Amino acid sequence: APMLIVGLAPGLHGANKTGRPFTGDASGDFLYQQLFDAGLATKPHARTADPDMHLINCRMTNAVRCVPPQNKPTGAEITTCNGYLRQEMAAMPHLRVVFALGRVAHEAVVKAIGGKQKDYPFAHGAAHKAADGLWLVDTYHCSRYNTNTGRLTEQMFSTALQTALNKAQG
């Protein structure tokens, strides 16, 4: 797949149970609808580990692998799990774009590519050219909090996703 979507961490009663990022999590309702609309998922929702649900031309992972305390990953967790993210990226020979959901995911990706955080400032909708021709595209995280407060709207997310898709195809 040319695109890797990177989230934050599994939710306690969702991805932590189902073993699939955003599956069974409130933020997954928003995300999978968007992925389905963009032709990147076979179904518009993922509440369970449904064998008929597949991602299309993309993979998905989280910056942190375990449910973090208070849903806020510690620096130590992010550092410990960064090797998994590096492995995930290295196992994708056709990777062209990483779509980072939120600042923590963005910073984990910058760390995984060995970049300096100051060279890649997080900003919703930004596309950063990473060292080896890889693109890093940012969006605000699609958490219930962000979508309920209007910090992240469907339109904002789909525009950022389209930026990432253009990089994946470009």
Contact residues for ligand URA (CB under 6 A)?
7-11, 14-15, 21-22, 25, 27, 62, 101
CB of 11 to ligand URA, least distance (A): 4
Nearer to ligand URA by C-beta: 15 or 136? 15
Nearer to ligand URA by C-beta: 34 or 62? 62
Nearer to ligand URA by C-beta: 22 or 99? 22
Nearer to ligand URA by C-beta: 87 or 114? 87
CB of 132 to ligand URA, least distance (A): 25
Residue whose structure tokens are 């998994």: 84
CB of 25 to ligand URA, least distance (A): 4
Q: Which residue is nearest to ligand URA (CB)?
A: 7
SS (H, E, C) the chain: CCEEEEECCCCCCCHHHHCCCCCCCHHHHHHHHHHHHCCCECCCCCCCCCCCCCECCEEEEECCCCCCHHHCCCHHHHHHHHHHHHHHHHCCCCCCEEEEECHHHHHHHHHHCCCCHHHCCCCCCCEEECCCCCEEEEECCCCHHHHHHCCCCHHHHHHHHHHHHHHHHC
CB of 161 to ligand URA, least distance (A): 15
